Structure 1
Amino acid sequence: MTTITQTKQAVQPLLARHSDLALVGRYLILTPVRHFVRGVFIDRSINQHAFVPTLSVCLTFDGDTEQGIGWGDRFTYRSFEDADPDLVDKRKNDPRFGVWDIRYPENIELMLRFTEAALQSLRAMVTFEQMMEFARRYENNLTPFEFMYYPRLLMAAATGDFETARYIVGKREGLRQSFEVHYPAFCPALLSEDRAALAKCLHDLEAKTIKNLKFTKFWEPTPFPLEMDGG
């Protein structure tokens, strides 16, 4: 399996070319990090010489304790229709596309070209609306978005969509009970539409997630939409 050190060595050209990139573990991210993190997760493979890069967008206020994919998919399953014609041609015809083997420098260079194209598609994603549109696309979900109750609840709360958030809490008893145990102020704040109290819960969750995932150096704390819309 490839190591984090090998990952760091492989992506050095991208880090040198783009000042808005940072590598955290295996996660090549766009900075600054706010309420969601955008990047490419460069995972290991059962092939000890290969990488498995995946386009990835994750919430930064869900209390996660380890890096994951969030929403996105492996390069091998993406069309790259918005990339330049040469990359589209290589996606279709290069026999080594999808097997990113560190023993072949030209293969890793090709992986980096696709990584740049993938990251470019994420640079314009700066609002919750854009992020949720990405999350809803079927190609970015192993689990259909409508069944991802926990992140949907958090996003609804963060954007001030109290109707949707209350509906999810009302339908998912286990989720409600979990919040009552771990974040007891959340549900009362949601039911009373107390924006300040709800925002505090979300900021506390975000600070926890950022610390857990070691994004502190690249984090830019910002208000949630519910704090700006009628707060």
Structure 2
Amino acid sequence: MTTVAQVRQALKPLLQRHSDLALAGRHLVLTPINHFTRGVYLARSGNPKIFAPTIDVGIIFMGIDRFHYGWGNTRLIHPIFSNLKGDTNERAQAIIKMDIKPFFGGWHFDNPENMEIMLSVIEDALVPLRKITKLEEVVEFASRNENNFTPFEFKYYARLMMATALGDFEEAIRIMDGPDYRQVELRKDMMYWNPTFYPALIAGDRRELAKILHELEAITIKSLKYRKYWEPTPFPLELKD
């Protein structure tokens, strides 16, 4: 498996070229971070010299204390080369033919040309992510089927958190009150871990709901070491009348 030190070394040129990029462990993120992250996660692979970068967009107010994939789920490997232009595409195709057959599955740390093309591919992948600047746009991104391993409709916890953060309490209540067994379990978990959440939803208590979301966000910010890249901002629900 590749190490965090290798990730840092490989991505150093990108970090030097783009002032809006930062590295938190294996997560290359666009800054500043508000209530969500946009970037590329350089996952481990079975080969200690191979990187497996994956596009990731995720919300950070779910109270999660370790990295988990949000939305995007696009491995930056062979299929995306068709989107590259000019010299980058030609070099990528040469790497495919020369290095790994029949499929190109990752990027080799000890191959300088592999690393050079990987950085170009990551730069291309970050372009559309920079356009995501609002929580509403994260929801739109997450709602697309191609950005999910599991259908978005079944991601009840994430949908609940996003609806609440946006001030859509009717949708949040529908999710909490739904008949699906996963919704029933979610309701039980929320009543156990955040007993004031559901009553606050019913009452439309924006102050209490914002307090809960900020507390959950703080857990992730601290656990994933995002603090120095984080820009505290109110949730949309706090800005509505």
TM normalised by structure 1 equals 0.93
5+ residue gaps, structure 2, are: none
Does 1:17 find its partner at 2:17?
yes
C-alpha contact 1:4 1:26 (8 A) present in aligned 2 = yes
For 2:50, the equivalent position in structure 1 comes to: 50
Q: Structure 1 residue aligned with 2:206, among 191, 195, 199? A: 195
Please name the residue that 1:177 is paired with: 188
* 1:79–1:88 CA contact under 8 A, matched in 2: no
Contact kept in structure 2, 1:37 and 1:60, CA below 8 Å:
yes
Matches within 5 A, 1:95-134: 95=96, 98-134=105-141
The residue identity in structure 1 corresponding to 2:6 is Q
1:98-138 CA-to-partner distances (Å, cap 9, x unmatched) read: 42001211001100001111112211101122111111122
Q: Secondary structure of the equivalent of 1:79?
A: helix
- Measure the CA separation in 2 of the matches of 1:87 and 1:105: 14
Q: Report the AA paired with residue 55 of structure 1.
A: I
4+ long deviations beyond 4 Å: 80-83, 85-94
Residues in 1 aligned to 2:58 and 2:17: alpha-carbon distance in whole angstroms = 24
Q: Give the unaligned 5+ runs of structure 1.
A: none
Q: Deviations over 1:46-105 (max 9, x none)?
A: 112100000001111001111122111211275367654554566666415542001211
Aligned equivalents of 2:82 and 2:61: distance in 1?
A: 31
Distance 2:117 2:154 in 1: 36
Secondary structure in 1 matching 2:80 = coil
Aligned match of 1:31: 31
When structure 1 is superposed on structure 2, of 132-141 and 44-53 the one drifting more is: 132-141
Q: Identity, % of aligned pairs? A: 50
* Root mean square deviation, CA, Å: 1.8
Aligned to 2:149: 142
Q: Which amino acid is the alignment partner of residue 77 of structure 2? A: T
Amino acid at match of 1:68: H
Q: Could you tell me whether the CA contact under 8 Å between 1:64 and 1:213 is conserved in 2? A: no
Match of 1:226, SS state, is helix
Partner of 1:153 in structure 2?
160
Other structure's SS at 2:150 match: coil
Matched-pair contact (CA < 8 Å) for 2:92–2:117: no
Q: Following the alignment from structure 1 to structure 2, what is the Cα–Cα distance between the partners of residues 218 and 78?
A: 32
What corresponds to 1:214 in structure 2?
A: 225
Amino acid in structure 2 at the alignment position of 1:13: P
- Change over 3 Å in CA distance of 1:33–1:179 after alignment to 2: same
Preserved CA contact (<8 Å) 1:2 1:48: yes
- Scaled by the length of structure 2, the TM-score of the pair is 0.89
- What per-residue deviation string (whole Å, max 9, x for no partner) do you get for residues 179-200 of structure 1? 1111111111111111111111
User: Which of the residues 215, 221, 236 maps onto 1:204?
Assistant: 215
Checking the alignment, whether the CA contact within 8 Å between 1:32 and 1:220 is kept in structure 2 is: yes
